[in-house]
Amino acid sequence: MEVIPVTADAETFTCNAYLVLGERTVLVDAGTMSGVEDVVAEHTDDLDAVVVTHQHSDHVGELGAVVERFDPDVYAYADHPLRTHELGDGDHVEMGDESFEVVYTPGHADDHVSLVSGRSLFSGDVFVYNDGAFDDGSFGRTDMPGQSRERLISSLHTLLDRLPSTVEALYAGHGDPFENEAGGDTVRDALERAIERAERREPKYPEA
């Protein structure tokens, strides 16, 4: 299974949108980069589905353009005018050559889901490897209206409990993708650090 970050060259703020190639070609989030559908088209003529981790604007801004270009199925937890399939906790979605379990992970967003297979984790914004706050295990912000640090902490624990020991690759909504290092840091290690840091209940981005 090949994963391509199709928003890597964005010049405006966007999430990481990932094109997953394999038996079933899927885009995880659409991002806000104008022309993302053209980048997808550089790698595939057909897009079977888009899976939305949550509907913050930086994740769905270009969803309409992608749907107009490829007419894929659209999977999302919450209602959306373009949604064709509702996601629920414990559902399974085929992406690339792997089967992913849907894990409901609210806190950063009420409709947030993560996607876990035996090898890979698409974590949206609930858990990232690096960002402006931490470099090796961070968590989604919870300082905006409707967000909850307590719900996010609970979601991180749920994600850890349902993370197979075989997972070796992390594809987060922001920051860099990460793969287990031989004899070193692992996705699970980074998630455990993110939990410890979230549980400090300190502002993620203290005011200067």
pLDDT 10s digits, 113-163 = 999 999 999 999 999 999 989 999 999 999 999 999 999 999 999 999 999
Residue 184: pLDDT over 60:
yes
Domain membership flag for residue 13: yes
Mean pLDDT across 183-199: 97
Give the pLDDT of residue 137: 97
CA distance 24 to 48: 6
Domain membership flag for residue 206: no
DSSP string, 18-36: EEEESSB-EEE---S-TTH
The CATH number for 144's domain is 3.60.15.10
Domain membership flag for residue 140: yes
User: Residues 186, 168: contact at Cβ < 8 Å?
Assistant: yes
Domain membership flag for residue 203: no
Tell me the pTM. Answer: 0.97
Domain membership flag for residue 98: yes
Mean pLDDT across 53-75: 98
User: Residues 145, 133: contact at Cβ < 8 Å?
Assistant: no
Nearest to 87 by CA among 104, 72, 109: 104
Name every residue whose Cβ is closer than 8 Å to that of residue 115 and which is 6 or more positions away in sequence.
Answer: 28, 51, 53, 93, 95, 100, 101, 102, 103, 121, 122
Give the pLDDT of residue 141: 95
Confidence grade of residue 208 (pLDDT, cut at 50, 70, 90): very low
Confidence grade of residue 207 (pLDDT, cut at 50, 70, 90): low
Mean pLDDT across 84-92: 98
CA distance 66 to 54: 16
Domain membership flag for residue 136: yes
Q: Tally the residues of the chain.
A: 208
Structural domain that includes position 193 = 1-198
